Amino acid sequence: MASLLDQLRTMTVVVADTGDIQSIEQFKPRDATTNPSLITAAAEMPKYKEIVDGTLLDARKELGDSADPQKVASLAFDRLAVSFGKRILQIVPKRVSTEVDARLSFDTAGSVAKGREIIAQYESAGISRERILIKIAATWEGIKAGEILEKEGIHCNLTLMFGLHQAIACAEAGITLISPFVGRILDWYKKDTGHDYAPAEDPGVLSVGTIYNYYKKYGYKTEVMGASFRNLGEITELAGCDLLTISPPLLAELAKTEGVLPRKLDPEKAKTMEITRMTIDHATFDKMHAADRMASDKLAEGISGFSKALVNLETMLAHRITELEEQSVPAMA
């Protein structure tokens, strides 16, 4: 019997949720997604020192040998996610998601500028923008940034997605793809209620199902990519979703597990459902977001967590460039 992973691939695009290039080579997903926490974790692995050091040395060369180490680290920081992305694109056949600085999550103009800058880095390396998804937090400001970028042919992945209001606003803005965070929704409800949830009743699973059915009912082109899974059951309950981005440990579990995997999400079924259509303007978005404690809490927490990961990465790079410069002194003497 085929593994659950092989069966899942017949109805859903499987994406690797990691910055670990060896894991991507192992599972051969179609796409890969990264985020600041994943890039920071990968950058700290000895096996990727070559990518980190190469990015730092390129930044120092560009700024000159007399450049302040902090400035070198800052430039390298801006480019490290793209450095990992370029390596990942040598393995996956389609797309990689590269995230805009989470500290720009409420800055539309800043997010647009950073998205253009990321695309320019890839294109200067000969990589088509069709293979890149610019990842932006699904604040109202982030969604508006994505709308601007999409009109320029820059495809976006709106992340930290927790509420239907975020999803509808993204679809109306013409966003290429959204990433609802299944596991983080479950985390919030377990903490809030003290209850455990069976996979079919998992609030994160139900949230993705609601978004998927809404999109298919009304013919939106925006793709739904479930993300942030805590267990195998969450994944199997979303079989049929457009895409699922899955961590290496759960990919391994899917690969070694056999059994029948029925399709749970179906676009044809969604078209027959009675679903009320909504229009989300800024005021409606803010009102719905304020009323949704889970979405409000988890969006703020996610932005904060990614921002902290970026600070840690900047600190690590500053320390590493100092080490590299100290190592180069004897050679120059």
Domains and their CATH numbers in the chain: 4-327 (3.20.20.70)
Q: What is the mean pLDDT of residues 278-282?
A: 97
Global pTM value: 0.93
* pLDDT tens-digit series, residues 4-55: 999 999 999 999 999 999 999 999 999 999 888 889 999 999 999 999 999 9
Q: What is the pLDDT of residue 330?
A: 55
* pLDDT tens-digit series, residues 240-276: 999 999 999 999 999 999 999 999 999 999 999 999 9
Instruction: Check 86, 114, 135, 216 and give the catalytic one.
Output: 135
* pLDDT tens-digit series, residues 143-172: 999 999 999 999 999 999 999 999 999 999
Q: What is the mean pLDDT of residues 177-198?
A: 97
* pLDDT tens-digit series, residues 236-249: 999 999 999 999 99
Q: What is the mean pLDDT of residues 109-130?
A: 97
Q: What is the pLDDT of residue 101?
A: 94
Separation of alpha carbons 173 and 9, rounded Å: 29
Identity of residue 215: Y
* pLDDT tens-digit series, residues 46-84: 999 999 999 999 999 999 988 888 889 888 988 999 999
* pLDDT tens-digit series, residues 320-333: 998 988 887 554 44
* pLDDT-based confidence at residue 299 (cuts at 50, 70, 90): very high
Share of the chain above pLDDT 90, in %: 89
Verify whether residue 217 is a known catalytic residue: no
Q: What is the pLDDT of residue 5?
A: 97
* pLDDT tens-digit series, residues 285-294: 999 999 999 9
Q: What is the pLDDT of residue 36?
A: 86
Separation of alpha carbons 98 and 117, rounded Å: 11
Separation of alpha carbons 326 and 304, rounded Å: 34
Q: What is the mean pLDDT of the chain?
A: 95
* pLDDT-based confidence at residue 205 (cuts at 50, 70, 90): very high
Share of the chain above pLDDT 70, in %: 98
